[in-house]
Structure 1
Amino acid sequence: MSVALPRLGLGTAPIGNLFAEVSEPDAAATLAAAVAEGMTYFDTAPRYGHGVAEDRLGRALPDGGVISTKAGWLLRPGERVVTDWSERGLRESLESSLRRLRRPAVDVLFLHDPDDFREEVRRTGYPAARRIREEGLAGAIGFGMNHCEPLAAYVAEFEPDVVLIAGRFSLLDHDALTTLLPLCVRTGTTVVVGGVFNTGLLADPKPGAMFHYRETPPDVLARARRCREVCAEFGVPLAAAALRFPYLHPAVGSVVVGCRSAEEVRANAAAARTEIPPELWHRLAAEGFVPPELLEA
């Protein structure tokens, strides 16, 4: 892959008003804090706030930084989106993203959630993405998805430069380990892991916390709290262990964390710098939070 992704990146869905509105000053402060903390990778998408996240990112960082965005869904008036995996559709999506981002190209272009569009991606979507990369409009191409099985199928067929998997490689969800991550090692595909907190549960396992974008089941909440207890025995915040966990696998090149405030940015940056004692990883493995094979190397 021609693009070197920083180890830690900022996910911009929250400043696109995901779950709750973020004011313009707060969004600007969030991005400024990320830069101050040394975060140079920013992941975004047109669907994050119907263009709001890209626009805010473009105004804050019109140049510099590593940017990934996504294509495959076209924005329409009235908050509507329509799928379009044709070359014309992908180029329209990218061109509109570049206008909002205020830059001539992006570092990474992901095809966004093409779970149910295998034939369209095979026929027009991925060939168009290759041409976009050849023209220099994107430094690397791949797929950004929430489910491992269809993503692994795309990796096996196309051997993309990079993929983003959200929520499926965490202390509470090891789904990516069975097929996706070993496959990416074989194909040389860089993996970006998002959703390390599983929609917030592993940041703060309290009643009402969300898991995979839904209300957390009681048994999952209990598991998250037990994980926090084990981490506390070693003086390590749960969020730090959750953020550092994906790096245990050699396929993972970067982790992106969504933040909606400068305070969250600073907290996550501190978590990323936290040293995790090997003994903690082994205790977490004994309790089923870490696959033991990740500790065998």
Structure 2
Amino acid sequence: MRADETVVLGRTELRVTRLGLGLASLGGLFTPVSDEDAARTVDRAWDVGVRLFDTAPVYGYGRSECRAGAALRSRPRERYTLCTKVGRLIVPGGGDTQPIWADPPPGVGPRRDYSYAGVMRSVEDSLERLGLDRIDVLHVHDPDEDFPTAVTDAYRALAELRRRGTVGAVSIGVNHAPVAARYLEEVAAPGPDCVMLAGRYNLLDQSGLDALLPLCAARGVAVMAAGVYQSGLLADPRPDAPHGYTHLPAELSRQVTAWHALCDRFDVPPKAAAVQFPFGHPAVTSVVVGARTPAEVEETARMLAHPLPGAFWTAVRQAGLLHARVPLPAE
């Protein structure tokens, strides 16, 4: 599969590339990134064919959106798909801060707000930071933070923005699959067009398959799979690597070791197996992977296109690394 291959995003008229670039890293996730490196990273993604870009106000407290806009707004608007999120306003003195951002702008921070007015303000602020006049995909970010409001007021705002054409598709961005399944069940019709699922459909965690992915497939809701490296754990399992784990549970460590051993046996890069795995499920349209350097973008594109022997996935089954119900790309 190629990074520049496109597919229709569920039941919408949007087309997205199979590989998307997540822009949290360019907001300073775990480690600082310069404006120049951020621009070069987006430029390289464009060069390898990526046309799907995902950001959020909370990523670096507005920094990621500013950098995304600076890198993209000179390019033909109809040639790329831009996603951002609502649920947190970036305001002076915002107190819902997160320690994962290396060098956030001084004096501002996030404040949770899933109200109708809060969503509308968030979109206005995002468009200003981006320097654009529309958003292709708008996610309700972490709706579990205030589920009753996110499933009513926030969705009502998004549905109105979709009708106006300010937003091309309505989505939710979640880290917990049951939250997404509940959202799809409870929200007013016609509901979201897609779901961004982070860290719950990859080689180490397939909990998205319990209820969410079958529900999405049945309803024509597209799934963007993020977190395919499990916060970087599959890419670099070293204890001192910036993968977000301060303590690695023994069972998870065992799984990582087993995956690396099997990949070594078949001369398969673990990143190739990780980035290709989600496409075994028919609901998954794209994989969104973060990068902070042009080299990381290039590597991910190579991993997506790297040929995997059919015997590899057979061996995965035999080793018991994935449950029999999990669909695989070779099947």
Question: What is the TM-score when the length of structure 1 is the normalising length?
Answer: 0.95
Which of residues 58, 61, 64 is equivalent to 1:50? 61
1:102 equivalent in alignment to 2:131: yes
Which of residues 7, 15, 31 is equivalent to 2:18? 7
Which of residues 154, 159, 164 is equivalent to 1:135? 164
Paired letter, 1:270: R
5 Å-filtered alignment, 1:133-212, equals: 133-158=162-187, 159-209=191-241
Paired letter, 1:56: R
Q: What root-mean-square deviation, in Å, do the aligned CA atoms of Structure 1 and Structure 2 show?
A: 1.6
1:92 matched to which residue of 2?
121
1:245 matched to which residue of 2?
277
CA distance in 1, matches of 2:238, 2:251: 13
CA separation of 1:235/1:13 partners in 2, compared to 1, >3 Å: closer, same or farther?
same
Q: Is the 8 A contact 2:180 2:212 kept in 1?
A: yes
Q: Is the 8 A contact 1:8 1:256 kept in 2?
A: yes
1:233 equivalent in alignment to 2:265: yes
Residue 215 of structure 1 aligns to a residue in which SS?
coil
2:85 matched to which residue of 1?
70
1:122 equivalent in alignment to 2:137: no
Kindly provide the CA deviation profile for residues 249-279 of structure 1, in whole angstroms up to 9, marking residues without a partner as x: 1110110000011111111111011122221
Once the two structures are overlaid, the 10-residue window that deviates more, 244-253 or 57-66, is: 57-66
Q: Is the 8 A contact 2:22 2:54 kept in 1?
A: yes
| Pairwise CA distance, 1:213 | 4.9
Q: Is the 8 A contact 1:87 1:124 kept in 2?
A: yes
CA distance in 2, matches of 1:122, 1:114: 7
Question: What is the TM-score when the length of structure 2 is the normalising length?
Answer: 0.86
Which of residues 274, 278, 292 is equivalent to 2:324? 292
Which of residues 20, 23, 32 is equivalent to 1:21? 32
CA distance in 1, matches of 2:252, 2:263: 17
| Pairwise CA distance, 1:211 | 5.8
Residue 117 of structure 1 aligns to a residue in which SS?
helix
Q: Is the 8 A contact 1:167 1:212 kept in 2?
A: no
| Pairwise CA distance, 1:145 | 0.7
| Pairwise CA distance, 1:288 | 3.2
Residue 250 of structure 1 aligns to a residue in which SS?
coil
Once the two structures are overlaid, the 10-residue window that deviates more, 122-131 or 65-74, is: 122-131
1:256 equivalent in alignment to 2:288: yes
Q: Is the 8 A contact 2:143 2:151 kept in 1?
A: no
Q: Is the 8 A contact 2:30 2:242 kept in 1?
A: no
Which of residues 212, 221, 243 is equivalent to 2:253? 221
CA distance in 2, matches of 1:68, 1:201: 25
Q: Is the 8 A contact 1:73 1:84 kept in 2?
A: yes
| Pairwise CA distance, 1:214 | 4.3
Paired letter, 1:239: K
Paired letter, 2:168: G
CA distance in 2, matches of 1:95, 1:41: 21
Paired letter, 1:251: A
Q: Which runs of 5+ in 2 are unaligned?
A: 1-11, 93-106
Paired letter, 1:71: V
Residue 292 of structure 1 aligns to a residue in which SS?
coil
Paired letter, 2:34: S
